[in-house]
Amino acid sequence: MKKKLLFLLFPIVAFSQGYTSYFTGNTNNITTTPEFGVCLMGGATEHDNAMIWLLEKANGGDVVVLRSSGSDGYNDYFYSDLGVNVNSVETLVITSVAGATSPYVLNKVANAEMIWFAGGDQWNYVSYFKNNALEDLLNDHINVKNAPIGGTSAGMAILGSHYFSAQNGSITSAQALSNPFHSNLTIGENDFLEIPFLENTITDSHYDSPDRRGRHTAFLARMTQTINGRSLGIASNEYVAVCFGDDGKAFVFGDYPAYDEFAYFLQTNCDEVFPETMQNATPLTWNNNGQAVKVYKVPGTMNGTHYFNLDDWQTGSGGTWEDWSVNNGTFATASGVINNCALSVNDFATTEFTITPVPFQEEINLQNSGKTEFVIYDIQGRTVIQDSFSDAIKIDTAHLQSGIYILKVTSNGKTSSQKIIKN
C-alpha cells in the first residue's frame, strides 16, 4: 500500500494578491479521473454520508475549498475525518478579484478533482469569481472534466442557473411576498455557473431557520417573468443535503425521522404558469386555484434512500406532493398531486437512429434511414430545435447552453427519444 505523506503547513498568505491558502496532504499534485456529482448542503453542519458520497467521486484526487472568509475548517474533515482517500485538501480564502484570478489560485482550481464552496456571503462569490478566468475554470471543471462540485449555504445559493445574489443584503419571506420587486430581491440569471440538471433552477438553504418557503416562491415568481416560462427550485433544511450524479436522481440525506429534515423540489404548475398579480410595491398573488407551485417534499435519511428525479421533474421515492400558493402576500400550503407536465422519454415507441458526437458541443450529426422528423427539447420540455431530413443531417447547436436535452426522432411511424448532453 502506498504511504501518503501528510503535510500540515502554515498558511500561505498573499494579502497583496487577495488570497490565503491552507494546505493539508501530499504536495505532489496527482491526476485522477473524477466522476460527475453535485451536492447542495443546507447550511449547518455537513452531513457526513453526503460528503463521503461527493468525496468518493474525486477518485483520490485533490480537493479545493473556495471561500471568502474563515480559514481551514474543512481541511482535516475532508482529508482524514471521513475516511475517504484524497491526495490533498486546500482551502483558498479569496478576498478580491485579484485573488480569484491569481496564477496560484487558477492553477489549483484547474488541477482540482473536486471543488467545494463554503458558506459566507454569496455576493462575494459573485463579485470575485464571475466574468473572469476563475469562472471559466469552474465551468470547465463541471462540464469538461465532469468533476464533482458542491456547496453549503452561500455556496449552495450560487449553484443554480439562477441565484439569489444578496447584492443588497438578505431578504425575508415577509419582505419578498409583500413586494416581489423589493430592492433586496436580486437574482442573477444564466450568467455564472452552468451545472447540468440545474437549468432554470434557483436554490435556497437554511429553509427552516427562518422559514424561507415564501421568499423562494417569490424567487420563482420573478423567474417566470424573466424566462417567460416555468421556473424550478431546490431547497434544503439546514442539516439536509441533496446530491445527484449524471442520472439526475437527487438523493436526500438527513436524520429523519429523528428530526424534521426535508428537501423541497419546486416547479411552476404547467397549467397556469404566471402569477395573477406581480408588480412593484404590491403584495404578490400567485394562487392559480391554490396550486401555483407544485412541490415534492422529501425526507432526508442517513443513507440518502429517498430521491427526486431531476431528469423528468416528476418521479421520486419517499416524498409527498404539496401545493403552494400566495394570496395578497399570504403564503399557504396544502396537500397536492403530481404535476403531470414534464417530458417523459418512456412515453415513446422505439426507432433506431445514430447521433454523434456524444456529448455534443457545436453541432450534432444525426443519421436515420428514410424521411425523419426530429425535435430537441430542453429539460423543461420546451422545443429548442425542430426540423426534418432524409438519411442524415448536421444540426447547428452552437446557440444552446450547456446542459441536458432530449432528442425525439420520428421515422416510419415510430418514435424514439434519448437524453443528450451539451458540454
pLDDT single digits (tens) 69-101: 999 999 999 999 999 999 999 999 999 999 999
Has residue 2 been placed in a domain?
A: no
From 274, 308, 335, the end of a domain falls on 335
Domain stop point among 308, 335, 362: 335
The verdict on 102 and 201 lying in the same domain is yes
Q: Are residues 310 and 403 in the same domain?
A: no
Q: CATH number of the domain that 207 lies in?
A: 3.40.50.880
Identify whether residues 123 and 242 lie together within a single domain: yes
Angle (nearest 5°) at CA 380 between 377 and 385? 20
> CA-CA distance, 309 to 303, in Å (whole number)?
17
- Do 292 and 366 fall within a single domain? no
Range of the domain at 351: 345-422
pLDDT single digits (tens) 196-212: 999 999 999 999 988 99
Structural domain count, the chain:
2
In a domain, 1, yes or no: no
User: Do 360 and 251 fall within a single domain?
Assistant: no
Q: Are residues 302 and 405 in the same domain?
A: no
Q: Domain check: are 329 and 349 in the same one?
A: no
Give the CATH number for residue 376. 2.60.40.1930
> In angstroms, rounded to a whole number, what is the distance separating the alpha carbons of residues 114 and 269?
35
What pLDDT is attached to residue 229?
85
Q: Which of 335, 355, 373 is the last residue of a domain?
A: 335
Instruction: Mention every residue, 6+ apart, whose C-beta is less than 8 A from residue 67.
Output: 91, 92, 93, 94, 117, 118, 119, 120, 155
384 lies in the same domain as 247: no
- Which residue numbers in the chain have pLDDT < 70? 1-16, 341-352, 379-381, 413-415, 417
Answer yes or no: do 329 and 385 share one domain.
Answer: no
Contact 149, 114 (CB under 8 A): yes
366 contacts 374 by C-beta, under 8 angstroms: yes
DSSP letter for 347, please: G
Pair 260, 318 in one domain: yes
pLDDT of residue 281: 97
First-to-last C-alpha distance (Å) of the chain? 37
Question: What is residue 228's predicted lDDT score, i.e. its pLDDT?
Answer: 85
Domain-located, residue 49: yes
For 276-306, what is each residue's pLDDT tens digit? 999 999 999 999 999 999 999 999 999 999 9
| Statement to judge: residues 180 and 323 lie in one domain | yes
Q: Same domain for 257 and 385? A: no
Contacts of 335 (CB under 8 A, 6+ apart): 320, 321, 322, 323
